[in-house]
Structure 1
Amino acid sequence: MPPLPEQPDFKQALRDTARSDGPLGALRAFHRQAGPRTLVCGTAGHALAPTELVAPTPDGERTYMPTLLAGMGLAIVRTSSSGQGADDAVLWLRLGLAERLMDAVLDHLGTRSFGDTPLLRQPVLKDALAEVAVGLLRTESSLLDAPGPGLDDTALSVLHQQLDTAEHALLKLLGGTGLTTRGPGADAYVSGVLADLYAPSALPQETA
């Protein structure tokens, strides 16, 4: 399987599409950039892709369509061979989804108040949002400053964990709204699936 292109414009476009349109359009571009009839798989051979790109499924592959993913037009494919992963392209896509979630949180809180004070002016919420914003900027900076050969597995794992932390914090701020199948939490669920399928293995254990 060919690796994804290294053009910064492609990865920035993935991020922008994920933020503006959500996971379906971004994943469509993510896979189509690799070539016709080609899915970008993680190292264990799994891919998350729009259903129109995975049907019909060739022999030797299995398709999984959990209800929430199917409702979003997505499916998980398990191939018989291992892939080369997606390097940091998945991180750019996930960064766009995290920023989309941040936008949803700001919209959600911007219409609510506690007493006479808008929630966005509450010190606790301001601090929580600022911490997430700093975390997203830190992830972006690490991606932009990546060396020519790309980030190693440890660095990729750290950035995936940073995005996990940011998304979990944002979901807490959404309350019950983040749990609905058609709400912003669904995009965060997709982002988590991407981490499960494409992130490198867990960080190595420290030796005693």
Structure 2
Amino acid sequence: MCREGLLVVVSGPSGAGKGTVLNLLKDSGDDSIRFSVSATTRAPRKGEVDGLNYFFKTKDEFKLMIENDELFEWVEYCDNFYGTPKKYIESTIKDGYDCLLEIEVEGAANVMKAYPQCVSVFILPPSFEELRRRIEKRGTEDVDVVNKRLDRAKKEIAYASNYDYVIVNDSVEDAVESLRSIINAEKLKFKRNIGILKQFE
């Protein structure tokens, strides 16, 4: 019996290490997990593949997706559109794979509203001081940009109470295992196993 997969929504402030956690999970070879692919109107960068990194669309194609209600959420940023296609996620889940979606808090709120059965996870740094250290360690931004990122992080962290789970990313390996544990525990919930239990009636 093929059980439907889970949609796992993952958010967290810049510097929390959510990308590192998800990349480590992606590289672990777990073939039960797929990662959501976003749609965008920006031009592909060198090495990017349509359908793997993004679904690359023209603006007219993207606007048609909006009109046809084919997106869980979408935003316009720097004169380009970005969105989360429903079709890819729904087909992935239907095929029994768990689909992980890394998304910022505003978009996550829209996805959770449209798909309330999803599992939501917020990734936090161990402390605000560590968050500052991680952002400054990148060495790619000046003080003003770092402070703006930290201000935004404070606002994003305020949304953590809207999520089902919180993972503190002190050790990336432990954070990956925590995420695995959440996914495994969710699959054991009674409400997700009613179909299997009916055979015993």
Q: Tell me, yes or no, whether TM beats 0.5.
A: no
Structure with greater proportional strand content: 2
Q: Which has the higher contact order (CA 8 A, sep 6+)?
A: 2
Structure with greater proportional helix content: 1
